[in-house]
Amino acid sequence: MLREIGVASIDDLFVDIPEKIRLKRPLKLPQAMSELEVKRHMKAMLAKNKPFTQMLSFLGGGAWSHYIPSHVRALTQRSEFVTSYTPYQPEVSQGMLQTLFEYQSMVAELVELDVVNASMYDWASALGEAALMCARITHRKRFLIPKLISPGRRATLQTYAVGPGLEVAEIGYDRKTGQLDLSQIRAQLKKDTAGVYVENPSYLGFLETQVEEIANAVHKAGALFVVGVNPISLGLLKAPGDYGADIVVGEGQPLGNPVSFGGPCLGIFACRSEMKLVRQMPGRLIGMTTTLDGGKRGYCMALATREQYIRREQATSNICTNNSLCAVAAAFYLASLGPQGLRKVAERCAANASYAMKKLNAIHGLETPIFDAPHFNEFSLNCDDTHMSIEKLNSKLLKRGIQGGIPLRGEFPELGETGLLCTTELHSRECIDHLAKTLKEIVGGKR
Amino acid sequence: MPEGLYYTREHEWVKLEGNLARVGVTDYAQDKLGDVVYVELSEVGKQVKQLAESKAKEMELGAVESIKAVSTVHSPLSGAVKETNATLQERPELINTSPYNEGWICLIEPRALEAELKNLMDAKAYAEYLKGLE
């Protein structure tokens, strides 16, 4: 090979690297292994993992484990989808374009807004982009978020806010019900606010019931109303487009995508069909059209001229690669379940959480939920009265093969020893009974 | 090439109307852009600066978007934006069909008209300039 490329020795390839910084000994690596040996070695290492899918888990908080029908995975894993890149050339990408168009269409039905982009990275990046979009449209620089929000989402939003100098302010909540403080929203709206963001269900699983009043106040002040959702909940709950949302963001992972080391996620992004909004919307849009002779249906990227690869520094969309494969999975998932199926999944999730709250709240020393409000599939569990920290409680659960809820005290000290638990349709009544029984033993054992 | 207008190297035109200046893009510009699908207008009241060598945000009057590109409209004069052509929001194609009349983009109240007109071309000079581009 050296002869082929015209050099005498391997050292000739490194002449540009100064002598003194060259490594003059072999790398400290183990002996070379055969493929079989590598496989055995890696398998032994992987066996040390304890995948939460193999234990009873109540983790949620932004990544939710749901049943994925086998054919959804089979279709998503087809090489035509797995290996396809951005469909710049419609003439060779009709399959991908059509699937993304259908993803957009189904999400539009779900959130009741007419324009949906072909996906963002995750909920958090979708929220960051929504804030910037509000600022571009209103020419204002303040964005309001609920105090009870996922720390990851808040951190991502703050990162997005740095460049354009956006100020992110928090809205407080009622200590009894968790509901947002309307008077704070009204007061803040007077100060040149670009947008107000509300999550429904909230990070702590309860529903925000004043969304219509909030929407009215926001619109009266000339600001935009942004709503964040877990799309599964929309099988059951009113769509944000029906209560005044201008922009909807959310986490599309529960739609046919597995939970695995924190991902892959899928950012949902939708807005009202008004040119003022659509022009400032990030991400790519797939449109349906007809061929020049008018005879055939076709799909193509629309409004591409605002994207970074064409408009450079003037772009309103700086996301040129999206999470297409995750959006493809979501399309297959939604198409498979249909409205009835999604409703059943949502009902089961909510019913399980409701059952779990009832069972756990009956245990002496435990309180759930900590807020008096309707909940979807997640709920807070407080153990102040057990005089045990939530981490301690979790580690005792883990010893018994149960993954407890996310501890919230670090982010929200005012909530005390509280964890965030999640149930989906994957949890059977027996699973929840087992959690209750185990918790009773742990809490009782302490006394 | 309409006589009596002033032209920039970036293919904007200026028409003086009393103490105001009407601004648009030239026929050459619309031809190069192709079908215009959207016009982004600046806010009324915005203070703009005449386009100089080093381009800056204050020199932008909006953007014209066609099916293949988006092009920034630069301000040929310094001053305040008094009015924008709202009709373009519904009928952006006026830029193609009537670049010098119905497709106007905005009205500016110039701040330093006399000094700045020297930086613009008349119809003859602009025609020469276009020849040089071909």
List of chain B residues whose C-beta atoms are within 8 Å of the C-beta of residue A311: 70
Q: Does residue B130 form part of some domain?
A: no
Last residue of a domain, one of A292, A311, A333: A333
The SS3 of residue A375 is strand
> Alpha carbon of B24 to those of A19, B14, B75, B94, B132: distances in Å?
62, 7, 10, 11, 22
Q: Is the pLDDT of residue B13 over 70?
A: yes
Q: Is B15 contained in some domain?
A: yes
Beta pairing, strands A193-199 & A115-116: unpaired
Residues A316 and A384 in one domain: no
Q: Which residues of A touch B68 (CB under 8 A)?
A: 305
Same domain for A158 and A117: yes
Q: A256 and A325: one domain?
A: yes
Task: Determine the distance in angstroms separating the CA of B2 from the nearest CA of chain A, rounded to an integer.
Answer: 31
CA-nearest residue to A301 within chain B is B67
Which position has the token pair 């979009």? A133
Contact present, A122 and A251 (Cβ < 8 Å):
yes
Mean pLDDT (chain B) is: 93
CB contact under 8 A, B72 and A139: no
Q: Determine the distance in angstroms separating the CA of A315 from the nearest CA of chain B, rounded to an integer.
A: 9
User: CA-based diameter of chain A, in Å?
Assistant: 80
Say if B50 falls within a structural domain.
yes
Do residues A344 and A321 share a domain? no
In this structure, the answer to whether residues A284 and A396 fall within a common structural domain is no
Q: Do A314 and B72 touch (CB under 8 A)?
A: yes
Domain boundary among A317, A333, A349: A333
- The pLDDT of residue A445: 63
Give residue A446's pLDDT: 47
Same-domain status, A315 and A377: no
Are A305 and B89 an interchain contact pair (Cβ–Cβ within 8 Å)? no
What does the pLDDT look like over B98-116, one tens digit per residue?
A: 999 999 999 999 999 999 9
Counting residues of chain B whose pLDDT is more than 70, the rounded percentage is 100
CB contact under 8 A, A305 and B67: yes
- Residue range(s) defining the domain that contains residue A439: 54-65+339-446
A100 with A161, same domain?
yes
Q: Domain ends where: A333, A368, A387?
A: A333
Flag if A310 and B40 touch (Cβ within 8 Å).
Answer: no
Same domain, A385 and A433: yes
A257 lies in the same domain as A396: no
DSSP letters, A284-309, are -EEEEEE-TTS-SEEEEEESGGGBHH
Judge whether A173 lies within some domain. Answer: yes
CA distance A305 to chain B (A): 6
Distance from CA of A125 to the nearest CA of B (A): 26
CATH number for position B40: 2.40.50.100
Same domain, A174 and A89: yes
Asked if the structure places residue B134 within a domain, the reply is no
Q: What is the pLDDT of residue A134?
A: 97
Q: Is residue B133 part of a domain?
A: no
- Residue pair A434/A400 in contact (Cβ under 8 Å)? The answer is no
Tell me if A305 is assigned to some domain.
Answer: yes
Please tell me the total count of domains within chain B. Answer: 1
Given a contact cutoff of 8 angstroms between Cβ atoms, the answer to whether A283 and B43 are in contact is no
* B63–A305 C-beta distance less than 8 A: no
Our CA-based measurement puts residue B4 at a distance from the nearest CA of chain A, in whole angstroms, of 33
So what's the pLDDT on residue A447? 43
Q: Do A314 and B70 touch (CB under 8 A)?
A: yes
Distance CA A155, CA A27 (A): 39
What percentage of chain B exceeds 90 in pLDDT?
77
A305 to chain B: which residues are within 8 Å by CB?
Answer: 65-70
Cα A26 from Cα A12, distance rounded (Å): 18
- Asked if the structure places residue A14 within a domain, the reply is no
B68–A314 CB contact, under 8 Å: no
Residue A77 lies in a domain: yes
The boundaries of the domain holding residue B75 are 6-125
Q: Clarify whether residues A360 and A386 are in a common domain.
A: yes
Is A305 in contact with B43 (Cβ distance < 8 A)?
Answer: no
CA distance B20 to A255: 57
Decide if A411 is inside a domain.
yes
Is residue B19 included in any domain, yes or no? yes
Q: What is the mean pLDDT of each run of 10 residues along chain A (447 residues)?
A: 90 90 90 95 93 87 95 95 86 94 98 96 96 94 97 96 95 97 94 94 97 97 98 98 98 94 89 91 92 90 78 72 89 97 98 98 95 97 95 95 94 96 96 97 74
Residue of A139, A275, A305 with shortest CB distance to B69: A305
Q: Which amino acid is at A344?
A: K
Strand A297-302 and strand A142-146: the pairing is: unpaired
Residues in A closer than 8 angstroms to B70, CB to CB, are 305-306, 310-311, 314
Please indicate, yes or no, if residue B132 is contained in any of the structural domains: no
pLDDT value of residue A320: 62
> Are A275 and B43 a contacting pair at CB < 8 A?
no
Chain B CB contacts of A310 under 8 Å are 69-70
> Can you give the CATH number for the domain in which A221 is found?
3.40.640.10
Distances (CA, A) of B44 to B62, B79, B97: 11, 11, 25
Judged by CB atoms closer than 8 Å, whether chains meet at A275 and B63 is answered as: no
Q: Residues of A with CB below 8 A from B40's CB? A: 279
B57: closest chain A residue by CA: A314
Residues of A in contact with B63 (CB under 8 A): 314
Q: List residues of chain A with CB under 8 Å from any CB of chain B.
A: 139, 275, 279, 305-306, 310-311, 314
CATH number at residue A343: 3.90.1150.10
Please report residues of A whose CB lies closer than 8 A to that of B43.
139
Q: Is B69 close to A139, i.e. CB distance below 8 A?
A: no
ipTM for the whole predicted complex goes beyond 0.85? no
Compare CB distances from B69 to A139, A279, A310 and report the shortest one's residue.
A310
The alpha-carbon gap from A80 to the nearest alpha carbon of chain B, in Å, equals: 28
| Domain count within chain A | 2
**Pairing mode of beta strands A193-199, A142-146:** parallel
Establish if B80 belongs to a structural domain: yes
Q: How many residues does chain A have?
A: 447
Please enumerate residues of B whose Cβ is less than 8 A from a Cβ of A.
Answer: 38, 40, 43, 63, 65-70, 72, 89
